Structure 1
Amino acid sequence: MPSRDDRTVVAILAVPRVYALDVGIAANVFGRHPGYRVSVYGDHGLDAADASSGDPSDMTPDRARHVDVAADIRPTRSLADLRYADIVVVPGYENPHLPIPGEYLEALRNSVGRGARVVAICTGVFALAAGGVLKGKSVTTHWRHTGELRSMYPEIDVVENRLFVEDGAILTSAGAGAGMDACLHVIQSDFGTAVADDVAKDVVYPAVRGANEPQYTDTLTPTRASLRATREWVIENIGSSITVQRMADHSLLSRRTFIRRFVSETGMPPMHWVARQRVLGARRLLEDSDWSVERIAGATGFGTAANFRTVFRRETGVTPSAYRKAHGAVDAA
């Protein structure tokens, strides 16, 4: 049965051999926001009484907090109920080269076919690949499994060393930490940056990282080479004129060395990263303030309102006014 209210139904698909930690991550993150109704779905170990009673997505924040990640996962909703889900989360599972029961793959195909949003954590992407819904898609997974995924499914574009990849309605992520980022990214898309920040704070996790950030950095790079302090300095001074040379000077590195290390740490060129931070700051102000577009443009370093509108639309796909209408708590003065 569908949800009896306007909340988004999140179905966590407990495939055989599922990692309980990945189930707990999705339940905990989505369960923190009242806009979602979360349950675990599957046909193995299902309690018939639970499956036939109550609302189909009934995991409250308190229940989500107490998912026992050391115990076997027991679904409370059947695969048949998956047809009502708005978001389907496929957690990682052991031995992804082994087959998944056909009924699970069919349920995934049906979910994708009707337009549900699908989030695969870690090796969960193998279930989507086995279901035949990733042909021609760009995806990622934990770095230990990228080669295996590419070998088993050469028709899929496997992206190396990225936290998560979004291709249409399908979002795939690396390991458990990247699964947190993927879930927060969905919340950010649904309810805005400020809400996602609040959820991240509630689960004691950094604000959602960008999809292009690497899963890992070169372990031979010395700790002193970390550019975190420079990135924090940029964010603190986001309204001022930021150039690659200013960032290199702050990091006490040559321009060439700075650019190389910055790309290694963030997965993108310095000024592209700066533009992302400016857009992120602007999103927060559009959501939480009644500042005019001109004032936000100045505060976030875009300079003119025209430049702000151009860059914001390029990065988000919508105009600042449309974004504020969708996510803002107050109207512009």
Structure 2
Amino acid sequence: MHTVAILALDGVIAFDLATPVEVFGRTLTAGGAPAYEVIVAGPRRTATAGPTTLSVPHGLDRLTRADTVIVPGRADPEAPMDPRAARALRHAADRGARIASICVGALDLAATGLLDGLRATTHWKAAALLAARHPAVDVDARALFVDNGRVLTSAGAAAGIDLCLHLVARDLGGAIAAETARSAVVPLTRDADQTQYIRDNELGAVGLSATLAWIEEHAAGPVAVSDIARAAAVSTRTLNRRFADELGVTPSGWLTRARVRRAQRLLETTDWSVDRIAAASGLGSAANLRTRFGALVGTNPTRYRTALGSRR
């Protein structure tokens, strides 16, 4: 079984540690068996997390033997990295383990040298610190997560969920990742290159929320970008700029995602044919549905429905 080890150091951010525990711990194979062994490991048998002291059941020897190692962020990203943990991470990487960081865990990961020469992200507030401390790292302050193959990084908080679900999709396919997301009651809709929600963004959240709600309501019908702009009471040029600033995607790209989400719901709740679902979701033809669905979900509609059926 694929072992996922989460590194627990003093000052660990509890949310960052709990995210991989929940996502990988909830993942089941198509046959209903646990897909991962999830362990928490560290240099000591306890670790502080805010006002709480956590039990750490496993030592670093288990971490070095894991298939995937997750490095959560710590409350003080400038705190020095425990040299024992750094050696263990390098040892795991030398063995071929996949190493991923969540939020400001990228600072600890960078301290091992494993990010040198690679593109990486972190919480946007810590991006400047990461770049200053580790000039050999190509810091991308806007990406939700960055996949370099064996080494991955993610932005703050919920981006860790996106990263973990991405790893599940890599390992087991899009349908299993979608079911894991549903079990954890989180959406499976954000891509790696969607931008972080940076505070100094031009777009007001209220206006965007109303526009996105309008798209969801009208996605099944014939909708053009000009229709979305008219509903938002802005020009098409302004609409495109605002979507790029806030979501890192075009309005038509978001419309396609809304239609695919509708197709997912219909696959889950009806026995309709793929042709009927394509028409009802606004994607038109079965061929277009399969193309769009495969690009966003990572599997085809039939396999998606079969995987969900085997889990019910």
Q: TM-score range by the shorter chain?
A: 0.7 to 0.9
What secondary structure is seen at the aligned counterpart in 1 of 2:143?
coil
Seen in structure 2, the aligned counterparts of structure 1 residues 317 and 101 have a Cα distance that, compared at 3 Å, is: same
- One-letter amino acid matched to 1:214: Q
Of the structure 1 ranges 107-116 and 74-83, higher mean CA displacement relative to structure 2 is found in 107-116
Which of 107, 122, 128 aligns to 1:141? It is 122
Change (3 A) 1:273 1:155: farther
Aligned with 1:13 (options 3, 7, 12)? 7
Q: Given the superposition, is the C-alpha separation of residues 113 and 302 from structure 1 closer, same or farther in structure 2, using an over 3 Å criterion?
A: farther
Asked if the contact 1:109–1:133 (Cα under 8 Å) also holds between the matched residues in 2, the reply is yes
| 1:1-333 to 2 correspondences below 5 Å | 8-32=2-26, 35=34, 36-45=36-45, 70-186=51-167, 190=172, 191-200=176-185, 209-211=190-192, 212-218=194-200, 221-222=203-204, 224=206, 226-283=207-264, 285-286=266-267, 290-316=271-297, 318-321=299-302, 327-329=307-309
Q: 1:29 to 1:303 in 2, by over 3 A?
A: same
- How far has the Cα of 1:220 moved from its partner? 6.0
Number of aligned positions between the proteins: 300
Flag the 1:197–1:314 CA change in 2: closer, same or farther, 3 A. closer
Classify 1:255/1:175 alpha carbon distance in 2 versus 1 (closer, same or farther; 3 Å). same
Worse-matched range after superposition: 268-277 or 91-100? 91-100
Q: Is residue 26–residue 180 contact of structure 2 (8 Å, CA) maintained in 1?
A: no
Q: Could you say if the C-alpha distance between residues 138 and 323 of structure 1 is closer, same or farther in structure 2, counting changes exceeding 3 Å?
A: farther
Q: CA deviation at 1:129?
A: 1.9
- Structure 1 length-normalised TM: 0.74
What is the CA deviation profile of residues 251-303 of structure 1, one whole-angstrom value per residue up to 9, with x for unaligned ones? 12222222222222212111122223333444555566554332332233221
Q: Is the 8 A contact 2:86 2:112 kept in 1?
A: yes
Counterpart-to-counterpart distance in 1, 2:97 and 2:297: 21
User: Unaligned stretches of 5+ in structure 2?
Assistant: 29-33
Measured after TM superposition, the shift of residue 82 of structure 1 is 1.8
In 2, Cα distance between the equivalents of 1:71 and 1:157? 35
CA separation of 1:23/1:321 partners in 2, compared to 1, >3 Å: closer, same or farther?
same
TM-score (norm 2): 0.79
Report if aligned partners of 1:163, 1:215 keep a CA contact under 8 Å in 2. Answer: no
- Give SS of 1:44's match: coil
Q: Per-residue deviation at 1:124?
A: 0.8
Q: C-alpha offsets along residues 130-178 of structure 1, whole Å, 9 cap, x if unaligned?
A: 2232244332111121112122333332212333333324442222233
Q: Is the 8 A contact 1:29 1:184 kept in 2?
A: yes
Measured in 2, the distance between the counterparts of 1:289 and 1:166 equals 35
Q: Indicate conservation of the 8 Å contact 1:30/1:183, yes or no.
A: yes
Write the distance in 1 (CA, Å) between the matches of 2:63 and 2:278.
43
2:141 maps to a residue whose letter is E
CA RMSD of aligned residues (A): 3.4
8 Å Cα contact 2:12/2:49 also seen in 1: no
CA shift in 2, pair 1:42/1:160, >3 Å: same
Q: Report the residue type matching 1:146 in the other structure.
A: A
Once the two structures are aligned, what percentage of the paired residues are identical? Answer: 39
Cα deviation 1:57-107 (Å, max 9, x = unaligned): xxxxxxxxxx97532333110111124434322111244445423332233
